[in-house]
């Protein structure tokens, strides 16, 4: 089965999951170029919709994702990356996972501790 990036407008959802623990770390988008780079380098590369360019995970923070394996869903339109998260945090807000908030009724509860302070990490990259 071939991945058809065009049927989905050129972007497919890509889920990063910790290969050791199974924890879902994040969801981002991949275009064909990002997917091909990920396959070639075994490092997660996504497409940033806000910047309209490739986003190599960890290019600013140093928190890269080494790809151990890649899976496709039954329709070949969702990508699952099993990764080793270098640096301990996948989330740009400093958490191990982007899914650090749990819905409780009408409230959101933070259920994790921060691994790093984003102001410190991204200040180095000029994001302040």
Which tens digit of pLDDT belongs to each residue from 19-40?
A: 999 999 999 999 999 999 999 9
pLDDT digits (tens, 9 = 90+) for 55-95: 999 998 999 999 999 999 998 999 999 999 999 899 999 99
User: Which CATH superfamily hosts domain 5-124?
Assistant: Phosphoribosyl-AMP cyclohydrolase (3.10.20.810)
Element (H, E) at 127: none
How far does CA 113 lie from the centroid of its chain? 19
Q: How far apart are the first and last CA of the chain?
A: 44
Comparing CA positions, the residue from 84, 64, 73 lying closest to residue 20 is: 84
Q: Exposed, middle or buried: residue 15 (CB in 10 Å: 0-12, 13-18, 19+)? A: middle
């Amino acid at each position: 089965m071939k991945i058809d990036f065009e049927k989905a407008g050129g972007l497919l959802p890509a889920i990063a999951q910790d290969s050791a623990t199974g924890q879902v770390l994040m969801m981002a988008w991949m275009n064909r170029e990002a997917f091909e780079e990920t396959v070639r380098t075994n490092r997660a590369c996504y497409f940033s919709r806000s910047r309209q360019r490739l986003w190599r995970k960890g290019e600013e923070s140093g928190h890269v994702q080494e790809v151990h394996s890649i899976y496709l869903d039954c329709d070949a339109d969702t990508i699952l990356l099993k990764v080793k998260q270098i640096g301990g945090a996948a989330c740009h807000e400093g958490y191990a996972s982007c899914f650090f908030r749990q819905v409780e009724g009408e409230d959101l509860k933070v259920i994790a501790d921060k691994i790093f302070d984003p102001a410190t990490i991204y200040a180095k990259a000029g994001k302040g």
